Amino acid sequence: MTMPDPVEVFRTEAAELLEQIEQGLLDLEHQLDDASLIDAVFRGLHTLKGSGAMFGFDALASFTHHCETAFDRVRKGMAPATPELVHAVLAARDHMRSLVEQPDQEDDETGQRLLTQLQQAVADGGGAPEETAESAPEANSGAPAEAETVSAAPAAEPVTWRIRMTLPENAMANGTNPLALLDELRDLGDCEISVDTGNVPPLYRIEPSELHLSWNVRLTTDKPRDDIEDVFIFVMDDMELSIEQEEPGGAPAQATPAEPQSADPEPIAAAEPAAVAEPAPQASAQSPAQAPAEASAPAVNAPVQETRQKRAAENVRVPAERLDELMDRVGELVIAKSRLSQIAGNSIDVQLRSVSEDVERLASELRDTMMVLRMVPVATLFGRFRRLIHDLGRETSKQIELVTEGEATEVDKTVIERLADPLVHLVRNSVDHGLELPGDRAAAGKGEAGRVTLSARQSGGEVIISIKDDGRGIDRDRVRAKAEASGLVSPGQQLTDQEVMQLIFAPGFSTANAITNLSGRGVGMDVVKKTVEALRGTIDIESTLGKGSEISLRIPLTLAIIDGLLVRVGSGRYVIPLSAVEECLELSSEDDVRSEGRSFISLRNSLVPFLRLRELLSTGTEPDPYQKIVVVSTGVERVGLVVDQIIGDHQTVIKSMSKLHNDVATFSGATILGDGSVALILDVGHLVAAGQQQEAQLRKAG
């Protein structure tokens, strides 16, 4: 089994830290006096700096140190939090991400510019940090020194502190370097450090990757207690830590093991690795000198620590490609299960049928479990747009409020990944074309701040993601005129309202008067349409001139395995996604003949158009005496599909079509049946659109 690359592990964790920092900054922009948000951003920067230095990302650690220093000043009340500071650190955060991805980049011009912007932001808020890029601490020592700040206040009198630290057994396996923590303590002042080996097990029980040592530190410093706690800021939740101020004339805190050590407990330097190499015999009793240090730890620490370790064990980081591979194996199992079910159905062997039923049940449960593993909340997608809205507001001089709804709605991770770019285009389009400038909104009787709402909800086997704005809406006459000028439609050509709306997704179409950084090239909405169609989804548009627009993407919950309805048309078998099926009706030969030329059925006082798949697929066969109509819908619109036989439900493993069939819009994929034959999966969205178009033509002709 190959071990994960530590550098790649750090990059993954750094990406999470950078995301947390960005979200914290965006929250802070609206609550500049929130101390908890300031502390959260500081902790994220502090952790990123220390971890970066530990893994050899020296440029990242050095650059991050300056942002940490700025927030340290804010945290200690030496400078206020301002929008300019938030914007400067957001820009710096982007550079940190670049340093994570390319740690050896030599061009530091961007970094110097960002540091100048950061210093100016702090200066405008009440005083700049006195350090510059040249005076940043060296990051080669495993963990950079704690951020130093310069204050005009007189130096405080030195105080002696007694510190006892015990890290969890898995600390080093998780990347924590205890010597780096001791180095940071030593940098705060004069300290004496002793190691306690009383909990080291016998040699035959020692695991090299586990930590069984504790340290006692006597630190004399003029720094406040907060600076000592900051040393442990990103490991404090998982360790035993005691910090006590020594009374004047008090005895120094020393670590005395439970049993006499083979070596004298001389104070050791934090950077001496040899001091922790020799374990002592296992403890059998507690010496009086050790009691005060241990008494300062909370009595409930042991069960709390056990709970934390248990909670940590409940979450496992798994690479996405392994989930994809597992999904492929589950898909093959589902196909094999279908084959077994078909063989068992044709057999009189009772035991074979029993085994087949067990395998079918287990395969279904495994499929459902796998589906849950692949599902992620859309909050992971929506969270990215807070930064985009922040940047767009500054770029367009518009006041924008972002509202998110239904963030707990879960979608397949592949869908989330592929929807990211289309949603970026839609949000940018709403801001640029939809929302007005504050003055224009005020003149129209609206609030100066425009609102963009991202929402998600589940409907059957689909998730509906909507982007709504309260802007100027879509001018249909302008869209029509632009389309005619571009040659997309002929002058006088009859178009429905939805057809006019769909023109904005045509390649090269744009209503912008000039090309800007946001729009004007006519490629963004075309990308949206192609991506959504590739996901077997559809796009709905609603807009009211002067009030705003809403674009809804209807996307399948998963792209891997679906429940389908297996039908026969002629001699071929096809699959209809079960989530789109509303009901099934019988169509006799008399009704079939009677409906020739109009293709409508009356369904509970409403007319529903239907398509004869036998004609659409050109089977060249005669219809069965009693055909069936499968009524399908995409949420609003409905259409009936005439088939010869409904075979039954079928767990469908979706296989993509070949490149030669990319332009065949009737099918969205294929699947393998139990007998090894191939069945094509019908694209319900395309068929519904075709049915509605047929209905419009018939109504127009009538």
pLDDT(205) > 80: yes
The C-alpha atoms of residue 191 and residue 226 are separated, in whole angstroms, by 17
Assign residue 239 a region (left: φ > 0; alpha: ψ between -120 and 50; beta: otherwise): beta
DSSP characters for 225-274? HHHHHHHTTTTGGGSEEEEEEPPTTPPPP----SS--SS----B-TT-GG
Average pLDDT over residues 154-168: 83
Average pLDDT over residues 291-314: 39
How many CB atoms are located within 10 Å of the residue 91 CB?
Answer: 16
Total-model pTM: 0.63
Reference 302, options 206, 168, 196; nearest CA is 168
The rounded percent of the chain whose pLDDT value lies above 90 is 10
Reference 74, options 117, 100, 37; nearest CA is 37
Question: Residue 368: how many CA atoms within 13 Å on its side-chain side?
Answer: 5
Which pLDDT score is estimated for 251? Answer: 53
The tens digit of pLDDT for each residue in 378-431 reads: 888 888 888 889 888 888 889 999 999 998 888 888 888 888 888 998 998 889
The tens digit of pLDDT for each residue in 598-645 reads: 677 777 778 888 888 888 888 888 888 888 999 988 766 788 888 999
Which pLDDT score is estimated for 372? Answer: 82
pLDDT(548) > 80: yes
The C-alpha atoms of residue 113 and residue 700 are separated, in whole angstroms, by 65
How many CB atoms are located within 10 Å of the residue 72 CB?
Answer: 24
Which pLDDT score is estimated for 700? Answer: 63
Which pLDDT score is estimated for 164? Answer: 92
Which alpha helices (DSSP H) does 102-215 contain, by range? Answer: 109-126, 178-187
Between the ranges 132-141, 285-294, 300-309, 558-567, where is the mean pLDDT highest?
Answer: 558-567
Reference 165, options 150, 143, 183, 181; nearest CA is 181
Whether the CB-CB separation of 641 and 630 falls below 8 Å is answered with yes
The tens digit of pLDDT for each residue in 350-392 reads: 899 999 999 989 988 888 888 888 888 888 888 888 888 988 8
The C-alpha atoms of residue 19 and residue 46 are separated, in whole angstroms, by 14
Tokens 């002592």 belong to which residue? 280
User: Regarding predicted confidence, which is higher, 489 or 304?
Assistant: 489
Which pLDDT score is estimated for 73? Answer: 85
Bridge partners, residue 240, by sequence? 166
Tokens of 329: 């194996």
Q: What angle do CA 21, 238, 144 make, to 5 degrees?
A: 55
How does residue 453 score in pLDDT terms, banded at 50, 70 and 90? very high
pLDDT(516) > 70: no
pLDDT(132) > 50: no
Which pLDDT score is estimated for 141? Answer: 40
- Range of lowest pLDDT (150-164, 236-250, 494-508): 150-164
The tens digit of pLDDT for each residue in 562-586 reads: 788 999 998 889 999 888 888 898 8
Which pLDDT score is estimated for 483? Answer: 84
Tokens of 3: 């071990």
Whether the CB-CB separation of 51 and 74 falls below 8 Å is answered with no
Beta strands in 314-472, from DSSP E residues, in sequence order = 375-377, 399-405, 410-412, 449-459, 462-469
DSSP characters for 13-25? HHHHHHHHHHHHH
The C-alpha atoms of residue 695 and residue 600 are separated, in whole angstroms, by 8
| Helix 413-429 vs helix 385-396: crossing angle, to nearest 10 | 10
DSSP characters for 38-57? HHHHHHHHHHHHHHHHHTT-
Reference 362, options 649, 673, 651; nearest CA is 651
Whether the CB-CB separation of 180 and 54 falls below 8 Å is answered with yes
pLDDT(466) > 90: yes
Whether the CB-CB separation of 232 and 165 falls below 8 Å is answered with yes
pLDDT(130) > 60: no
The C-alpha atoms of residue 261 and residue 259 are separated, in whole angstroms, by 6
pLDDT(534) > 60: yes
pLDDT(255) > 50: no
Which pLDDT score is estimated for 284? Answer: 35
Average pLDDT over residues 251-273: 39
Strand order in the sheet with 399-405: 399-405, 449-459, 462-469, 548-556, 538-544
